[in-house]
Amino acid sequence: MAPNIFWFIPTHGDSRYLGTSQGARAVDADYLKQVAVAADTLGYDGVLLPTGRSCEDAWVVASSLINATKQLKFLVAVRPGLSTPGLAVRMASTFDRLSNGRLLINVVTGGDQQELEADGLFADHAKRYEISDEFIRVWRGALSGEGGAEGFDFEGKHIQVKGAKTLYPPVQQPYPPLYFGGSSEAAHELAAEQMDVYLTWGEPPAAVAEKLADIRARAAQRGRSLKFGIRLHVIVRETNEEAWRAAEKLISHLDDDVIAKAQAAFGKMDSEGQRRMAALHGGRRDKLEVSPNLWAGVGLVRGGAGTALVGDPETVAARIREYQELGIETFIFSGYPHLEESYRFAELVFPLLGKGRQPGEQSLTGPFGEVMATDIVPKKAA
């Protein structure tokens, strides 16, 4: 089966190079709209919007893109502990109704203590997961109408509500699907207990297989099952040689001091997933291909997802199929710059995955490609 392919809305900036303003571009409303419309018309299933103080607000940006798109789904973050469940319920239901069922929820517990404290959340790793567990129980109960006409009551260690409900139910029933990523013991427990889709960052296939097996087993003990997704960057070119040159070019302006500062910042976080990302390369430029065609150069300075699939279209498609064989159904990709790379990936890889609009399947009639010398129609590609 063809996988679900998502793209990325770069609300924390975009550039041709990492670690420099050279090649950077203004990420304003017009540019974000361009990326979203491109993803929508090219046939991507959805887009992920990042969250955190380094980003423009995900909900505001996603809301601004509803009427600019037609079929695109929006994976938007809910941050337990930073808002009340009741507010999150109304935001989710409203967005789902206004977009006609195009909302997906990304549950983000957070791993940067300094950032969380700046936002007013003073809770260690264990407590944050306790809050998240209670938050999602209330969120699900209120949106699904679990409490009936009287509303949903909950008395937890951190969260208490009485009569929680929504008068305007979401289009998707019983609620928009819950996506979640985390690599710690607490994260795996939360995923198995409450989530619909578990997301992993792009670790080597063997490591991903181990994580998925653990979560499957935990979910089965509860009589549940989950779907799985993966978050990766991608650098695809017509040849492998071109792709690897593009990867090196992306980090060609990075200096060792910037890398050291970024790695030191990541080391202060209590995120197990971030620790695993950093351990793939240890901050070393000569240890970046961590698995065949899986390159960790992005993770030298970027937090969160730090690996990219690198290669020609056939190679990248083959690596995607390897993850599919493990049970991955959803792939969330990004590339620098995000507008151009959304086109490049769709044009080069979508046909190999059975995705997107193909020649002869266009909504408009007429030649496919540029007409030459006033009346010579392009030949169909081999």
pLDDT at 9: 98
The parent domain of residue 54 ranges over 4-78+177-353
139 domain residue, yes or no? no
36 domain residue, yes or no? yes
- Residue 35 or 304, more confident: 35
Rounded to whole angstroms, how far apart are CA atoms 208 and 211? 5
Average of per-residue pLDDT across 322-343: 98
pLDDT of 360 strictly over 90:
no
Rounded to whole angstroms, how far apart are CA atoms 143 and 163? 12
Average of per-residue pLDDT across 93-122: 91
CA 256 to chain centroid, in Å, comes to 28
106 domain residue, yes or no? no
Average of per-residue pLDDT across 284-296: 93
Mean pLDDT over all residues of the chain?
A: 92
DSSP helix/strand/coil, 113? helix
Q: CATH number of the domain at 22, please.
A: 3.20.20.30
Question: 297: which residues sit within 8 A by CB, 6+ positions away?
Answer: 18, 247, 248, 250, 251, 281, 285, 288, 308
Burial of 351 (0-12, 13-18, 19+ CB in 10 A): middle
38 domain residue, yes or no? yes
pLDDT at 152: 95
171 domain residue, yes or no? no
- For the chain, the domain total comes to 1
Rounded to whole angstroms, how far apart are CA atoms 377 and 367? 6
103 domain residue, yes or no? no
pLDDT band of 192, cuts 50, 70, 90: very high
* Cβ proximity of 46 and 74 under 8 Å: yes
DSSP helix/strand/coil, 240? helix
pLDDT of 353 strictly over 90:
yes
Q: Both tokens of residue 337?
A: 């710059």
pLDDT band of 130, cuts 50, 70, 90: very high
pLDDT of 261 strictly over 50:
yes
186 domain residue, yes or no? yes
283 domain residue, yes or no? yes
For 263, how many CA atoms within 13 A lie in the half-sphere containing its CB?
22
Q: For 233-248, write each residue's pLDDT tens digit.
A: 999 999 999 999 999 9
Instruction: Give the C-alpha distances (Å, rounded to integers) separating 341 from 24, 46, 55, 75, 232.
Output: 15, 15, 20, 20, 13
Q: Classify residue 334 by its DSSP letter.
A: -
What is the helix, strand, coil percentage profile of the chain, to 5?
40, 20, 40
